[in-house]
Structure 1
């Protein structure tokens, strides 16, 4: 569980504002109706406040029976950082009900305002709680990598987000799809992956491993250190979505999305009929 705001964040975080922002996002998720941005409550650049809201929303999900299975890293692309006026990535929580396998059909109503991006997913085979948490240690802790599609979603109407909005909204996490080919880091190089993503057979995005903070493993290093600093280190058995290898694209009912990575093969998902689970 992400630590509670009271245990993680400094006294200047406005507890009433955090509670109001969390209630707004929880209400949107429950009703399926997107809400107004929360930056009017916590400030557009209030990093502690935003993570406090995320923690409150996470606590709500856990009380409702959800289980944390990993983390996702967002804002790894320089272009997206420039768009939002930030110079750092963010992270969110992956829950058990977000997980799909390659070839599955995701109900279009599962994720609000869905957009898809291609990534590399890493499974951790060891805890990342002690030591320098440098590239060598993080690399050694990764059991395997796989091609993945992240289905990003926003509870905020029209994706009208700034940094604090997306952090508070669990880094715009929605669902994810893991491809069938899973390789150790001895068998492929994350930074050298070339990616092509198609929707309905038309190529809509290309990219490579270097687009993700210069190296997807470097993104996991950042996450491991940040998670430990917040008192909730990464653990063996958790999945990490390391960040987009190329642009994010919107999807609609009936779309078939395929991402092909040069060393990890293809991962596919179809968006079908259906409402929120």
Structure 2
């Protein structure tokens, strides 16, 4: 437990001081990484943050190849991470941000009793949206293994939900196509099938995993289902636009002074 607390302090200090830190895999392995994540989330909640959802990471083969990690993971979304379509994002809160486009689900029912598959989780989806996730690693140079990114809340940073809420019955999530532009230039493309075969498959995986850990998904939560294509580094002054067929376009810019 001492190693878990030491790893949690290392990551929390990096986040607070806005200075990257060494990996934590010298302290914890895969089995303990979620304990580190939970300690730091509990501290954030104790300071007033509110949990609003979850994010699934490493669902895209392209992203796993980019980061050298071989399996999906998940993290927690807090209210101070959430931004609206078109917002200027506070770049000063970030260390080494990268952006990716995802299908987001808003749950209308709890997912606390499995087994879960695409059909059962679909019934719990109240709305589906285009979204941007800004991932950010507290670990220097994105030098991460599975244990490092899980401990670091699945490298969560900020997220932006699109303004168009769609009924899941009107969208075939595995068939959607995504294009992400940075400053008007196309930088990332992909499809729903690039997210574990279907974003609903990713949602079913998360529902199963969360329930097994004793923290099932709840009605009202937002779930970012994972990247549809390669992540793209961003800096202050950049403008990002992602279009997902059937879900519309979501935009954000990165502030120079925030």
Q: 1:80-106: CA deviations, max 9, x gaps?
A: 334555542100000000001111100
Q: Given the superposition, is the C-alpha separation of residues 95 and 85 from structure 1 closer, same or farther in structure 2, using an over 3 Å criterion?
A: same
Q: 1:119-153: CA deviations, max 9, x gaps?
A: 01100000000132222110000011100000000
Counterpart among 125, 132, 138 of residue 149 in structure 1: 132
C-alpha distance in structure 2 between counterparts of 1:271 and 1:190, whole Å: 28
Q: 1:198-220: CA deviations, max 9, x gaps?
A: 01100001101000000000000
Alignment partner of 1:216 is 2:203: no
1:23 — aligned with what? Answer: 9
Alignment partner of 1:64 is 2:47: yes
1:227 — aligned with what? Answer: 210
Q: TM-score, normalised by structure 1?
A: 0.91
Q: 1:34-55: CA deviations, max 9, x gaps?
A: 111101111xxx2221111111
Cα RMSD between the aligned structures? 1.1
* DSSP 3-state at the match of 1:57: helix
Residues 194-203 or 107-116, more deviating: 107-116
Q: Post-superposition shift, 1:258?
A: 0.1
C-alpha distance in structure 2 between counterparts of 1:257 and 1:176, whole Å: 12
Q: 1:124·1:238 contact (CA, 8 Å) conserved in 2?
A: yes
* DSSP 3-state at the match of 2:229: coil
Gaps of at least 5 residues in structure 2 are none
* DSSP 3-state at the match of 1:39: coil
Residues 73-82 or 98-107, more deviating: 73-82
* DSSP 3-state at the match of 2:201: helix
* DSSP 3-state at the match of 2:32: helix
Q: Given the superposition, is the C-alpha separation of residues 85 and 252 from structure 1 closer, same or farther in structure 2, using an over 3 Å criterion?
A: closer
1:124 — aligned with what? Answer: 107
1:41 — aligned with what? Answer: 27
1:256 — aligned with what? Answer: 239
Q: Post-superposition shift, 1:110?
A: 2.2
C-alpha distance in structure 1 between counterparts of 2:204 and 2:32, whole Å: 23
2:190 — aligned with what? Answer: 207
Counterpart among 227, 241, 248 of residue 244 in structure 1: 227
Give the aligned length. Answer: 258
Q: 2:18·2:94 contact (CA, 8 Å) conserved in 1?
A: no
Counterpart among 174, 178, 197 of residue 161 in structure 2: 178
